[in-house]
Chains A and B, each alone.
Chain A
Amino acid sequence: MGTIIEAKEFSYCYPRRDNQVLKDLNFSIEEGEFIAIMGRNGAGKSTLCQALDGVIPHLHGGTVWGDIIVDGLNTQEVEVADMAQKIGIVLEDPEAQLFTTRVDDEMAFGIENLCLPREEIIKRIAWATKVVRLEGYSDREPTALSGGQKQRCAIAATLAMKPKIMVLDEPTSQLDPIGTYEVFDVIKSLKEEYGMTILITTHKSEHIAQYADRIMVMEEGKIVAFDTPQVIFRDARLLSHVAVRPPQVSSLAGYLNSNGQNIKREDFPILVEEAEEMIRSLMGGKKDGQ
């Protein structure tokens, strides 16, 4: 497995604006990694997503400095349509990418354009439908679905194309809590079964903690941290600076420390099970009733 995405001194400025919204980005992502991009609204997360598949600068215009190389191709030199076979992108507003009159047609559109055989198309639609829990909705009109169902439909349409890299811009903002875990589970299985590389922007710290290999934290167009969830979520000062909420159990460790406990930063939990361990060890390993 090698590097699949590499940004070199990449900066970007929207047309008719004079401020850079992405500033001197340098990073590389390995094939098969699950990356979460976090940071406050307006930090540049969505702009970065669009720069990865070449929509920036090809469709938006504007000024670009530096390069982004995706699977050996320079985004500035390759057409968006060619890039779309390598990178699938799910937009933040699902309504912006739904346009057919049936859920099934929505899912078929991308794969039909890949010129796959009919049987394969049918198979992939059935798979994608099941994965996002939209069984029974095949004949429904996408615009008549609920907010969360629209989001699932948009994810399935992209999933069905089985791209090498999937970029999802807040794919769960309107999903119920378990639906959010399900979508993350699906994405994780894509990574495990197909070696797919995943980039996802999200505000849901508690959900993403157990899934992401690394978290990229953005602030004012720059990358201010890029490390494992364990390292990122333990850094309370960084998180409050970038308006990312730590998982509640990490905050719990902070609260205990401000009340006289001495939990080491590297022992701060991010998952419920880790918090249980932490509390037990604080209590001297004693169990109930002993």
Chain B
Amino acid sequence: MANKIIEVKNLNYRYMDNGPLCVNNINLEVEEGDFIGIIGQNGAGKSTLMKALTGLLRPSEGQIFINGEDIADIPVSVISNTLGYVLQNPDRQLFAETVREELAFGPTNQGVSEEEIEKRTDYILESVGILHLADEYPPALSKGDRAKVVIGSVMAMEPKIIILDEPTGGQDYIGRYQIMDIAKKFREKGHTVVVVTHAMSLVAEYCNRIVVLCNGEILMQGTSREVFSQPEKLQQTFIRPPQITELANAMKEELHIEETLLCVEEMGDKVLEHIEA
């Protein structure tokens, strides 16, 4: 069995003493190498949960173990060596003069040797697709490129886990896929990816497991097919499955569809089967 890289036990979080619980009794296990999608309505507690994992917010009650260690007494700067966090608004974490310096900032602070930093930044510039921007001023880049730089700068620290908080909001179609492909590549190198998003078709396509939050609690979790096969339940947390899944659900009986369909090709093949029959 794979290593439990994140373990959350009975986690509660309230922003104000005696205030409402924004994260309510969450128990969660993430295995090393997972590509987890966190979905749920605005205000469901997604970003709060993520900030608790990074140590930026400390639990009101409960425990969080990252790579087997209880993080209660570990400073954020140390946690960030294991768990990298890309904020919802990437512009909040850009500050260097050039893209290359931006990528080097994290590992420099980790005390990584200069040769190793150069090796890492070269690799990331290449693999994230921003080599041609190496000497550019980050704030002047396009939205899609700024997001790639920020993700790259976190990846440069080689954290075991990377959290992406709504990385594709406001990105165009091509940008969205490029960003998810970067995450996928990072996962293929053995890292764990946690992505918070409202883009259901991307979750369906990329994540091996989905956690659905609703009012601070876990409403359900499972594979994309398991989760999207329950549209009524998802409605509680203001989620609608991808359009193609809705179509397949609507025509379930006519087309004898038993499983939950997630992409255009799956639905297309089903329709073709019926026309040919």
Pick out which of these stretches binds chain A: B66-74, B116-124, B219-227, B262-270: B262-270
Pick out which of these stretches binds chain B: A58-66, A120-128, A278-286: A278-286
List A contacts of B15 (CB < 8 A).
144
Q: A178-B235, A249-B243, A249-B247 are in contact. Are A149 and B43 (CB under 8 A)?
A: yes
* Assembly CA distance A282 to B270 (angstroms): 13
**Does A255 contact B170, Cβ atoms closer than 8 Å?**
no
**Does B264 contact A255, Cβ atoms closer than 8 Å?**
yes
List B contacts of A247 (CB < 8 A).
243
List B contacts of A282 (CB < 8 A).
271, 275
* Assembly CA distance A148 to B173 (angstroms): 20
Q: A147-B88, A177-B200 are in contact. Are A244 and B40 (CB under 8 A)?
A: no
List A contacts of B200 (CB < 8 A).
177
**Does B171 contact A41, Cβ atoms closer than 8 Å?**
yes
Interface flags, B121-145, vs A, CB<8A=1, else 0: 0000000000000000000001110
* Assembly CA distance A15 to B169 (angstroms): 28
Check if A220 is an interface residue, CB within 8 A of chain B. no
**Does B172 contact A272, Cβ atoms closer than 8 Å?**
no
Closest to B246 in A: A272
B93–chain A nearest beta-carbon distance, Å = 14
Check if B229 is an interface residue, CB within 8 A of chain A. no
List B contacts of A283 (CB < 8 A).
254, 274-275
* Assembly CA distance A240 to B47 (angstroms): 33
Pick out which of these stretches binds chain B: A18-26, A167-175, A190-198: A167-175
Check if A67 is an interface residue, CB within 8 A of chain B. no
Check if B41 is an interface residue, CB within 8 A of chain A. yes
List B contacts of A279 (CB < 8 A).
251, 254-255, 271
List B contacts of A144 (CB < 8 A).
15
List A contacts of B173 (CB < 8 A).
40, 203, 243-245
Check if A287 is an interface residue, CB within 8 A of chain B. yes
Name which of A152, A176, A272 has the most chain B CB atoms within 10 A of its CB.
A176
List A contacts of B47 (CB < 8 A).
146-147
Interface flags, A137-159, vs B, CB<8A=1, else 0: 00000001111110110000000
* Assembly CA distance A230 to B8 (angstroms): 47
Interface size class on chain A is 35 or more
* Assembly CA distance A93 to B267 (angstroms): 37
Interface flags, A205-240, vs B, CB<8A=1, else 0: 010000000000000000000000000000000000
**Does A92 contact B170, Cβ atoms closer than 8 Å?**
yes
* Assembly CA distance A276 to B142 (angstroms): 39
Q: A40-B172, A203-B171 are in contact. Are A288 and B253 (CB under 8 A)?
A: yes
B51–chain A nearest beta-carbon distance, Å = 11
List B contacts of A146 (CB < 8 A).
42-43, 47
Closest to A275 in B: B247
State which of A173, A179, A255 has its C-beta within 8 Å of the C-beta of B238.
Answer: A179
**Does B88 contact A252, Cβ atoms closer than 8 Å?**
no
Check if B77 is an interface residue, CB within 8 A of chain A. no
**Does B254 contact A287, Cβ atoms closer than 8 Å?**
yes
* Assembly CA distance A275 to B264 (angstroms): 12
Check if A101 is an interface residue, CB within 8 A of chain B. no
B199–chain A nearest beta-carbon distance, Å = 9
User: A83-114: which residues lie under 8 A (CB-CB) from chain B?
Assistant: 92-93, 95
Check if B27 is an interface residue, CB within 8 A of chain A. no
Closest 4 CB pairs of A and B: A148-B42, A178-B238, A173-B170, A245-B173
Residues of B at the A interface (CB closer than 8 Å) are: 15, 40-44, 47, 88-89, 91, 142-144, 166, 169-176, 198, 200-201, 235, 237-240, 242-244, 246-247, 250-251, 253-256, 264-265, 267-268, 271-272, 274-275
Interface pairs (30), CB distance under 8 Å:
A40-B173, A40-B174, A41-B142, A144-B15, A146-B43, A147-B47, A147-B89, A175-B42, A176-B40, A176-B44, A176-B237, A176-B238, A177-B198, A178-B41, A178-B235, A179-B238, A181-B240, A203-B176, A243-B172, A243-B174, A248-B243, A252-B244, A252-B268, A256-B272, A259-B268, A261-B275, A272-B247, A272-B250, A275-B247, A282-B275
